Structure 1
Amino acid sequence: MQLVGKVALITGGSRGLGRADALALAAAGADVVITDILLESGQDSGVAQKYGPLAQFFQSSRVVYAEQTAEEIRQMGRRALALQMDVTDRQQVAEVFARVKSEMGSIDILVNNAATLDHVAQIEQQNDDFWERDLRVNLTGAYNCCKAVWPYMKEQKWGRIINMASVAGTMGGFGQSSYSTTKAGILGLTKSLALEGARHNITVNAIVPGVIATEAFQMTSPQMRERMIARTAFKRAGEPEDIASAVVFLASDGAKYITGIELYVAGGLNLFTF
């Protein structure tokens, strides 16, 4: 699963799954571009305010490692960039992708990882502004990035797009109407683009994570964490590296005949467990 000579761009890469994906892709040989709305240096507090309490918490508590991750990748002997990018801003996405193409030579792998997941309320209490935010970030943001990278991948006749879905998108989630809807939409986007991309040697796949021990998961109450873990067949949470291993596989030539799939990395949470 060597990726030497490939350039990967990851959205929402400053922590959690995005950071693990970046390090794993670099370990497999890829040069990596980490994008996020938050960077350690030069942070604009207005960006975090715009995207809600979780972004504000991560910024205030300095749970932001985009530039640190880029430096770790450079220490591996790979090229790396950490760039601020808002996936909802189409102009900014286009400018960042053009810069990456110019400076790095190509964009071969796109991992659409950026997402919001702090909107939890039953339908009567769903916040309309957060509903719209979740659609813009989780679904339209992935669309914006796919559309921006498509011409580059078509031109080089090679590409890998890996979209991050969720078991909430396949099973639903109590109090997660907006999040579940966006992640279900990701699956439709994945399959449609898989059909369009095949003639250009572009594969498009989705990973469906379950309960993964990220910083966001650790912020839930102990009781809720126990309930979620109990749903898995392994009776434990997965690690970000479990997702990252799947990302590396789908980006590699070992997966060159795989497209349009929903790859569960959920520890059996989607099975009938009791």
Structure 2
Amino acid sequence: MDFGLSDKTALVTGGGGRIGSEDCEVLAEEGAEVVVLDVDEDQAQETADGIEEDGGTAHAVVCDITDRDAVADTVEGIREETGGVDILVNNAGMVDARARMEDFEADIWDRDVSINLTGSYNVTREVFPAMCDRGWGRVINMSSMAGWQGGFGQASYAATKAALIGFGKTLALEGAQDGVTANIIAPSIVVGALADLPIDQLEQVDEHFARIAKATPMRQLGTEGDVANLVAYLSSEQASYITGQVVGVTGGIDLFSF
């Protein structure tokens, strides 16, 4: 299926990471010109180089999305080079903090709010008005099952991922009459090649992953590709009537089952 992205520019924040790089690669395969934005120059360049080697078009851009002035300058440079951003994937985020509330450090909370939530605001603020002016755009916020259901020991992560749902729905309302859609993806855990392992083998690698797989009706974990394929679809012409939706990539773990 042709998703109609051959004349579109996609900006993916955290584009050098596991999920972000897969998003970039799939969008490029669908014909989009991809801006791989990351604070890590090496990861951004590696992702962009891989896309170029496969025949796609990509640009590695280094930016700290918590720096509002830097974001404004960076987006202006992207606009001058590409003509403007048509697709924004707010993917950058931190997920390394784990502590119960009484031990949760304030500086970690502040860091995660700054990156996961305010960083997404900073980038969106610079590209969303131009999308509305042009009459076409796609914004995709990367939330999480933790944003839906909470996450034990993950106060900052769960809170910011929940906030991205409200943020995305607000963008959907504001862009609805201007040809701009906004949707939210909420994955469960994705683990790359480990998803192919039977549960008994997965237990030998990571007991935590195995417990999640056992609780998933499909009895397996997801991959970065499962997320990226949905990103590509929600970016497409075919998804033009889908907006303000939270779409789980979960294998059914959010369902009541017994």
Q: TM-score, structure 1 length as denominator?
A: 0.87
Partner residue, 2:49: 71
Contact 2:11 2:89 in 1 (8 A): yes
Cα deviation 1:4-50 (Å, max 9, x = unaligned): 0100000001121100000000000100000111111xxxxxxxxxx
Distance in 1, Cα, partners of 2:84 & 2:257: 44
Partner residue, 2:86: 108
Partner residue, 1:144: 122
Partner residue, 1:229: 213
The one-letter code of the counterpart of 2:11 is L
Contact 1:12 1:34 in 2 (8 A): yes
Partner residue, 2:249: 265
Deviation at 1:214, TM superposition (A): 5.1
Tell me how large the CA RMSD over aligned residues is.
1.6
Residue aligned with 1:238, SS: coil
Distance in 2, Cα, partners of 1:273 & 1:121: 28
Partner residue, 2:199: none
Partner residue, 1:173: 151
Contact 2:91 2:141 in 1 (8 A): yes
The equivalent position to 2:106 in structure 1, one of 122, 128, 136, is 128
Contact 1:86 1:92 in 2 (8 A): yes
The one-letter code of the counterpart of 1:159 is G
Cα deviation 1:91-135 (Å, max 9, x = unaligned): 111111111110011210000000000110000010110001111
The percentage of aligned residue pairs carrying the same residue is 42
Distance in 2, Cα, partners of 1:141 & 1:214: 26
1:26-45 pair list within 5 angstroms: 26-40=28-42
Contact 2:214 2:220 in 1 (8 A): yes
The equivalent position to 1:242 in structure 2, one of 226, 230, 233, is 226
Partner residue, 2:75: 97
Distance in 2, Cα, partners of 1:239 & 1:142: 23
How many residue pairs were aligned?
247
The list of structure 1 runs, each at least 4 consecutive aligned residues, that deviate by more than 6 angstroms after superposition, is none
Contact 2:192 2:222 in 1 (8 A): no
Deviation at 1:154, TM superposition (A): 1.9
Deviation at 1:239, TM superposition (A): 0.7
Distance in 2, Cα, partners of 1:233 & 1:246: 20
Contact 1:17 1:214 in 2 (8 A): no
Tell me whether 1:82 sits opposite 2:60 in the alignment. Answer: yes
Residue aligned with 1:77, SS: coil
Partner residue, 1:9: 11
Could you list the runs of 5+ residues in structure 2 that have no partner in the other structure? 196-201
Residue aligned with 2:185, SS: strand
